[in-house]
């Protein structure tokens, strides 16, 4: 496990299942941990800083980042873990269905990346880690048009941020898991454990993470 002492990490989607695993793992690695979500997470680690915000609301998100910075100091790493899964036949997908997925998976990503970059430019640099997916990185399966499109867009967004701001000391990269497993799933389920995703993210928060600027790191279970 890397030593993240003196590293402040903000996790969006902190009250979600993956968000909770990330918070605990990062805290165990010594990081100062902060979170943004609509509601406070349960069982947050000691010293946790929290700001309530809907990640699709730009004013609320900006206020949340400012609150975290005031309480915890400059943010070194932002892990964007906000997202949702949805699927269904393309011909039956309504505009409301499409917009719901794109809003949470892509618009929230844009707002988070933009707010992070604004803080990093002021504070001398930082790192962005986005949670993408296999569907976005390597191809869309049937009945996942909106989800796959949103996650592919997330990857391109982080690549664009990496390309534009490398000279500013800002790195951006994505982690693309297949199905994330939290325990209790059918043993035949093909996926990767949430703890392994958190361990990779912790590694990417360390100095070694700078070597992966602009990359998409794939984490796939057994085929």
pLDDT bracket for residue 37 (50, 70, 90): very high
Beta bridge partners of 130: 80, 174
Write the burial class of residue 206 (CB in 10 Å: 0-12 exposed, 13-18 middle, 19+ buried): middle
Which string of DSSP letters, residue by residue, matches 54-114?
-TT-HHHHHHHHHHHHHHH-S--EEEE---------GGG--HHHHHHHHIIIIIHHHHHHH
pLDDT band at 26 (very low <50, low <70, confident <90, very high): very high
pLDDT above 80: residue 189? no
Asked whether the predicted pLDDT for residue 223 surpasses 60, the reply is no
Q: What six digits make up the tokens of 200?
A: 């990779």
Contact 77, 127 (CB under 8 A): yes
Give the Cα-Cα-Cα angle 129, 173, 48 (nearest 5 degrees): 10
pLDDT digits (tens, 9 = 90+) for 68-88: 999 999 999 999 999 999 999
Q: Give me 54's structure tokens.
A: 């809907």
pLDDT category of residue 184 using cuts at 50, 70 and 90? confident
Percent above pLDDT 70 for the chain? 98
Express as a percent the part of the chain with pLDDT over 90: 93
Is the CB of residue 79 less than 8 Å from the CB of residue 10? yes
Give tens-digit pLDDT for 86-140.
Answer: 999 999 999 999 999 999 999 999 999 999 999 999 999 999 999 999 999 999 9
Q: What tokens were used for 24?
A: 């605990």
Residue 23 is encoded by which pair of tokens? 């918070």
């Amino acid at each position: 496990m890397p030593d993240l002492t003196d590293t402040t990490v903000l996790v969006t989607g902190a009250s979600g299942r993956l968000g909770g695993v990330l918070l605990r793992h990062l805290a165990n690695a010594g990081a100062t941990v902060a979170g943004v979500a609509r509601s406070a997470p349960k069982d947050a680690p000691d010293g946790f800083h929290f700001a309530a915000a809907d990640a699709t609301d730009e004013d609320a998100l900006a206020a949340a980042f400012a609150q975290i910075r005031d309480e915890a100091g400059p943010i070194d790493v932002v892990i964007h873990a906000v997202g949702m899964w949805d699927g269904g036949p393309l011909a039956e997908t309504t505009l409301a269905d499409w917009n719901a997925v794109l809003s949470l998976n892509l618009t929230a990503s844009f707002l988070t990346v933009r707010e992070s970059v604004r803080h990093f430019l002021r504070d001398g640099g930082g790192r962005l880690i986005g949670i993408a997916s296999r569907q976005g990185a390597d191809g869309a399966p049937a009945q996942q048009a909106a989800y796959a499109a949103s996650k592919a867009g997330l990857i391109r967004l982080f690549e664009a941020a990496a390309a534009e701001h490398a000279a500013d000391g800002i790195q951006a990269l994505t982690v693309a898991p297949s199905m994330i497993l939290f325990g209790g799933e059918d043993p035949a389920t093909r996926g990767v454990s949430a703890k392994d995703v958190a361990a990779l993210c912790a590694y990417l928060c360390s100095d070694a993470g700078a070597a992966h600027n602009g990359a998409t790191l794939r984490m796939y279970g057994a085929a």
